[in-house]
Amino acid sequence: MEEENTEVEFEIDPIKLSPLAEKANKVLDESKSKFNIVLVIGLDEKGFIDVNCNLPQYPTMQYMINRAGFELLVHEKNAFGQIAGG
Higher pLDDT, 71 or 25: 71
Q: Which amino acid is at 26?
A: K
Query: CA-to-CA distance for 81 and 6, rounded, in angstroms?
Result: 70
The answer to whether the beta carbons of residues 77 and 83 sit under 8 Å apart is no
pLDDT tens for 28-77 read: 888 888 988 888 888 888 889 998 888 878 898 899 999 999 999 999 98
Q: Is residue 61 part of a domain?
A: yes
* Maximum separation of any 2 CA atoms in the chain, in Å: 88
User: Which residues form the domain of 79?
Assistant: 55-86
In a domain, 60, yes or no: yes
Distance CA 63, CA 86 (A): 31
> Is residue 6 in a domain?
no
How many structural domains compose the chain?
1
pLDDT band at 17 (very low <50, low <70, confident <90, very high): confident
Q: Is the pLDDT of residue 85 over 70?
A: no
Who wins on pLDDT, 84 or 78? 78
